[in-house]
Amino acid sequence: MAVADIRQCVILLGGLGTRLGALTRAMPKPLLDVAGKPFVDVLVGEALRRGFTDLLLLAGHAADVVQDYAEGLRARLPAGASVTVSVEPEPMGTGGGVRFAGDLLADRFLLLNGDTWFDFHWLDLLQAATLGPALAARPVPAADRYETLEIASDGRVTRIVPRGEAAGEVLINGGAYVLDKADLLGFPEKFSIETDLLPQLVLQGRLRAVARTGYFIDIGVPESYAEAQTAIPRQRTRPALFLDRDGVLNHDDHYVGSPDRLRWMDGAADAVRLANQLGIYVFVVTNQAGVAKGHYGEADVQALHQWMAAQLRQSGATIDDWRYCPFHPDATVAAYASAHSWRKPAPGMLNDLMAQWPVQREHSLLVGDQSTDLAAAAAAGIAAVPFAGGNLHHFLAPHLAAMTKQIKAGAPDA
């Protein structure tokens, strides 16, 4: 299955949070407040920005709280996205809860534990899953209380090692999976992903692991739940890469308004994916005077951006958000005749993105091919570099490496 077609993110919210005591008696653990929002909202936001448009919440314990959350979420989802809730009638285990969702399940889906956040580029897991089911593995300095994973050089998991048998730095299950619905059907009503499904997939030689070193938090114990209140907002605050579109992501062939006229810049998807993997937000900020001049409409711009997003996603790359400015002072379409504050060299699009996303302005970068791009960056207080064409990945890699150094310096937990 093509990576771009995996659009469903399933989140497990049903478990009893016994280690958190009274806090979770009437509240699913993943719905607990973290810095003013339910914890699961972080996972939902991370899924949406990576193009998972089909959200499936699996509820059990205190399901009414999940239903209320879903109702609120529905009202603020972007166009084309949806959220559904499946409620297990009794505790059925992690696997049973997924299987119970039945017809709501896509053939292949991303599955997340609702009480943990593993901050790596989730589309990497989708790419590994083109060969079969996959899980995200993370290295820990000591096996401690965990089961560990043995992995062959081709990425296949060859053994799940019981607690207490492994020593030293090891890989453990990070609680994020890409699974096929078909693999769940052979099990009884109640079963566990961890102790039933995964061992079977390993025996069949079909489970792959993607090892990543991203930030990880499990809010299921009181100390980490307390830590989450400050650690999660800090982790979500990242540098951003602002990309002009025409002349940077694609060749500037003058008023490009449809996919048939779009020629990708060499290395465009690789450049975006690298930024994604480094934990840098990627935004597009593009003047589209073609709308004001009647060459195409806003719906065409939006459709083109959706098409571009799907193409990039197939390469494991994602644009976190898009801004375009359809206005121009010399418009031929009266409705768009304006010296708009979003039109570069004005910084409106950049400022709007920074108002809506937690961006480290001082570590961010804009790439553009025109002096107006650089002027917009300067007006927004953001560093900028001019791009004159060629391979965007080769051009950007050293700049992104420098930004990453700054992330590490600024965020000791990353």
Footprint on this chain of Mg ion (rule: CB under 5 A): 244, 246-247, 369
Catalytic annotation on 246?
Answer: yes
Q: Which is nearer to Mg ion, 246 or 270 (CB)?
A: 246
Please state, in angstroms and as integers, the Cα–Cα distance from residue 258 to each residue in 249, 294, 344, 400, following that order: 14, 14, 22, 30
Dihedral pair phi/psi, residue 218, rounded to 5° = -120, 115
Are residues 3 and 130 in contact, defined by beta-carbon separation less than 8 angstroms?
yes
Q: Which residue is nearest to Mg ion (CB)?
A: 247
3-class secondary structure, 27: coil
Q: Which residues pair with 210 in a beta bridge?
A: 136
Name residues whose C-beta falls within 8 Å of residue 263's C-beta, 6 or more positions apart in sequence.
Answer: 250, 251, 253
Please report how close the Cβ of residue 367 comes to Mg ion at its closest, in angstroms.
10
Are residues 194 and 94 in contact, defined by beta-carbon separation less than 8 angstroms?
yes
Q: Which is nearer to Mg ion, 280 or 367 (CB)?
A: 367
- DSSP secondary structure, 323-365, as one string: EEE--BTT-SSGGGBS--TTSTTS-HHHHHHHHHS-B-GGG-E
CA distance 198 to 222: 28
Catalytic residue among 196, 244, 270, 369: 244
Please report how close the Cβ of residue 98 comes to Mg ion at its closest, in angstroms.
45
Please report how close the Cβ of residue 373 comes to Mg ion at its closest, in angstroms.
6
Please report how close the Cβ of residue 253 comes to Mg ion at its closest, in angstroms.
11
Please report how close the Cβ of residue 246 comes to Mg ion at its closest, in angstroms.
4
CA distance 304 to 321: 14
Please report how close the Cβ of residue 381 comes to Mg ion at its closest, in angstroms.
21
Name residues whose C-beta falls within 8 Å of residue 410's C-beta, 6 or more positions apart in sequence.
Answer: 360, 363
Catalytic residue among 246, 270, 320, 373: 246
Q: Which is nearer to Mg ion, 287 or 360 (CB)?
A: 287
Please report how close the Cβ of residue 245 comes to Mg ion at its closest, in angstroms.
7
Please report how close the Cβ of residue 327 comes to Mg ion at its closest, in angstroms.
16
CA distance 258 to 305: 9
Please state, in angstroms and as integers, the Cα–Cα distance from residue 214 to each residue in 41, 110, 190, 268, following that order: 19, 18, 32, 24
CA distance 225 to 20: 9
- Other beta carbons within 10 angstroms of residue 373's beta carbon come to 26
Q: Which is nearer to Mg ion, 181 or 295 (CB)?
A: 295
Q: Which is nearer to Mg ion, 94 or 288 (CB)?
A: 288
Using CB atoms within 10 Å of the CB of residue 253, give its burial: 0 to 12 exposed, 13 to 18 middle, 19+ buried: exposed
Q: Which is nearer to Mg ion, 95 or 368 (CB)?
A: 368
Joined together, the tokens standing for residue 194 give: 């961890």
- Tell me the one-letter amino acid at 157: V
Joined together, the tokens standing for residue 178 give: 């890409």
Q: Which is nearer to Mg ion, 198 or 285 (CB)?
A: 285
Catalytic annotation on 115?
Answer: no
Q: Which is nearer to Mg ion, 58 or 325 (CB)?
A: 325
Give 168's DSSP letter: S
CA distance 295 to 298: 10
- Other beta carbons within 10 angstroms of residue 239's beta carbon come to 24
Q: Which residues are catalytic?
A: 244, 246
